[in-house]
């Protein structure tokens, strides 16, 4: 663990991404307290006002404060990212564990299910499902989670196929430990590292997916503010209200980039071979 934190601290890009991620989380949690105005309160006297001291990020077509809507949109976007990735990770870990440990028919059935899910483009699958469901934040979270577990399942299966042949697993089997205990007590803790990386990289993917759905009008519905539906509302006034497209676009860009930097940093820190090669390069440079 010390080696992990030491390697992570050396990665300045990952640290910068981590700082941005923490700041975004704090802003999202404190949005009701720090938001200057009610995000859903219209003001017909201030329709499409440019950024000013009164409205730092301007107003939209209904005169609502864009900064307030951005802060509340961060809550929705981050919630979608974390909850949907949590759902995907839970499904992927269970199915990947069963496939990797038991093998045979169980492995074949799980992997054919993975192949079946991967055949369909994820975004079009989401569009098809949401066409029959009422769009809401919980629907979006659930659907994104249910269509994003395949990579986690494949990672966990690969780790289990390697770990189940280790001595500590064979010893546990020899003393009569149950499959459930071996999986959850012995193998899974040693296979969790790539899952953490996949989850960290899955959060920005979920945020992008939600933003794309909201931009198309199939995501979280107004009056709830998300970065995607702010972009959707701004596309009709882009010539006179550029701030409605620039600021939520920048927020999505910075958030996705920061999470990707953190995920890459965690992956590099957890890979002992990469740490050794980096250490040799640093020592030679000295």
- Residue 258 counted as domain residue: yes
- Residue 44 counted as domain residue: no
- pLDDT, residue 119, reads 85
The band of 272, judged by pLDDT with boundaries at 50, 70 and 90, is low
Residue 273 has pLDDT above 80, yes or no: no
Average pLDDT in the 187-206 region? 85
Q: Pick 219 or 279 by higher pLDDT.
A: 219
- pLDDT, residue 271, reads 66
Average pLDDT in the 48-65 region? 89
The band of 254, judged by pLDDT with boundaries at 50, 70 and 90, is very high
Residue 248 has pLDDT above 50, yes or no: yes
Q: Per-residue pLDDT tens for 146-188? A: 988 998 999 999 888 888 888 888 888 788 878 788 888 888 8
Q: Which residues of 232-264 are buried (b: 16+ CB within 10 A; e: fewer)?
A: bbbeebeeebebbbbbbeebbeebbebbbbbbb
Average pLDDT in the 96-103 region? 89
- pLDDT, residue 283, reads 42
Q: Which residues of 36-73 are buried (b: 16+ CB within 10 A; e: fewer)?
A: ebebeeeeeebebbebeeebebbbbebbbbbbbbbbbb
Enclosing domain of residue 267:
2-39+56-285
Cβ proximity of 190 and 130 under 8 Å: no
- Residue 7 counted as domain residue: yes
Q: Per-residue pLDDT tens for 116-157? A: 888 888 888 888 887 788 777 888 888 899 988 998 999 999
From the DSSP assignment, how many helices (H) and strands (E) are in the chain? 14, 0
Average pLDDT in the 271-277 region? 51
- Residue 80 counted as domain residue: yes
Cα first-last separation, the chain = 26
- Residue 51 counted as domain residue: no
Residue 280 has pLDDT above 50, yes or no: no
Domain at 171, CATH number = 1.10.3720.10
Total structural domains in the chain? Answer: 1
What's the rounded Cα separation, in Å, for the pair 82 and 98?
A: 24
- Residue 35 counted as domain residue: yes
- Residue 47 counted as domain residue: no
- Residue 22 counted as domain residue: yes
What's the rounded Cα separation, in Å, for the pair 157 and 263?
A: 20
Average pLDDT, the chain: 84
């Amino acid at each position: 663990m010390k080696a992990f934190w030491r390697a992570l601290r050396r990665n300045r890009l990952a640290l910068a991404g981590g700082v941005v991620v923490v700041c975004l989380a704090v802003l999202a949690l404190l949005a009701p307290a720090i938001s200057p105005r009610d995000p859903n309160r219209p003001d017909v006297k201030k329709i499409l006002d440019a950024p000013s001291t009164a409205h730092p990020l301007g107003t939209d077509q209904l005169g609502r404060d864009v900064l307030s809507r951005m802060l509340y949109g961060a809550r929705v976007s981050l919630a979608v990212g974390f909850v949907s990735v949590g759902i995907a990770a839970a499904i992927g870990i269970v199915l990947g564990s069963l496939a990797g440990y038991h093998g045979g028919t169980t492995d074949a059935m799980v992997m054919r299910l993975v192949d079946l899910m991967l055949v369909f483009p994820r975004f079009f699958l989401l569009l098809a499902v949401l066409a029959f469901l009422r769009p809401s934040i919980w629907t979006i979270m659930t659907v994104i989670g249910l269509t994003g577990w395949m990579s986690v399942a494949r990672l966990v299966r690969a780790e289990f196929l390697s770990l189940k042949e280790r001595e500590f697993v064979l010893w546990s089997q020899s003393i009569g430990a149950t499959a459930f205990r071996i999986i959850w007590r012995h193998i899974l803790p040693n296979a969790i590292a790539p899952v953490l990386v996949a989850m960290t990289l899955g959060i920005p993917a979920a945020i992008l997916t939600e933003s794309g759905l909201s931009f198309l009008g199939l995501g979280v519905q107004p009056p709830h503010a998300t970065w995607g539906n702010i972009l959707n509302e701004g596309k009709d006034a882009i010539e006179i209200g550029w701030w409605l497209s620039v600021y939520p676009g920048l927020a999505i860009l910075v958030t996705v980039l920061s999470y990707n930097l953190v995920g890459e940093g965690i992956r590099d820190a957890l890979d002992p071979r990469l740490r050794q090669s980096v250490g040799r390069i640093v020592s030679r440079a000295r």
